[in-house]
Amino acid sequence: MTDLRSSDDLLAEANNQVVFMTAWADFTSALNASLGIGDVLHTASSILRQIFGFDQTIMVVVGPRGDLTAMRTLPERPDSVEGFRLERDHWLVARTLGNGAEFWGDPNANGGIDELAGHDRARSVTALPLIAPDGRVGCLVAVSLTDDFDVRQIKTSVTNAAREIATASDRVVNFERSRLEAITDPLTELYNRRYFTEALRNEIRKAQRLGYPLGLFMIDIDDFKLVNDTYGHLAGDDVLKSVANWIERSVRASDLVARFGGEEFVVVVVGCPEDELVVLAEKVRAAVEDVVVEAARPERKNVTVSIGAAYFGDVSMSAEDLISRADGALYDAKGSGKNRVVVSEQAVA
């Protein structure tokens, strides 16, 4: 005897299909409008929670510089997104992003996923590689907190969602890569001169309006031409990259470091009182002394820099004025023996 479903059952099924298709259209539309990975994760979390019943969504994406960007929602805050630090060798990331394998099952396998989830309440986990046309761009992890969560009936739909999320993530990362290439020095990966100039003008406008401290360092590698002439330009490039790295590590997260050109670097020092400016500059100068010209080994040839510092102490001062004062101080540092810091005497108007 044929088992005929009631009209109510058929109507309910049709309504569910309409709800799903509407939600799917909203999902793909929101993904296409995403401007950052946080937007992609927020959209992914919405459909995984509202349609498929997951409690938490985690994404790990390969950023424009090859670094990992790890972001997640939390069960108690599903509409907010937070970033967190994650090592590339985490077993679930290695399995999905590294090897391209899916994982559906026990979150306590291989040491658990507490580091990924930010808690120890996961009861089931689904992890899928995010695969774009050019290759794997990341991984998607969906977490349930209930013991009776059954993912079997939604596997195909979740996999399809992962494909859409991968495409959106790839587009966002490629856009960010293009933006970074336009404002970044390719050798040192610091900001370039064009970006620095605009950023300094913006900071001066804010300093004029809000009255917070602002300073500028002009940094020049001492006798850099001699390095190039003696050991070659590849050795010179290595020195530039090392010096850039040490400068960036020596200043504060709020400061902006850029390559001004050639062997010159600049640092926009935000929110640093005038009496602390020279202390920070000396910290940078001393840190760079640890850089060694590798091509000169076994001889130990250390690198030094001269630094000119200027302080924004006059609301009428322009970006060009501040650069000129720092550059004049740098000229004095080079002329008085190198490997030293000189602060502009015109620091205070």
Q: List alpha helices for the chain, DSSP H.
A: 7-32, 37-50, 91-93, 114-117, 155-183, 193-210, 224-231, 233-250, 274-288, 319-335
Are 207 and 214 spatial neighbours (Cβ–Cβ below 8 Å)?
Answer: yes
- At 117 the three-state DSSP class reads helix
Contact 128, 101 (CB under 8 A): no
C-alpha closest to that of 231 among 296, 289, 291: 296
User: Among residues 263, 282, 299, 320, which one is catalytic?
Assistant: 263
263 in catalytic set: yes
Specify whether the CB–CB gap between 251 and 284 falls below 8 A.
yes
Query: Cis before residue 298, ω within 30 degrees of 0?
Result: yes
Name the CA dihedral angle for 244, 246, 251, 254, rounded to a multiple of 10 degrees.
50
**Do residues 308 and 329 touch, judged by C-beta distance below 8 A?**
yes
| Residues acting as catalytic residues | 263
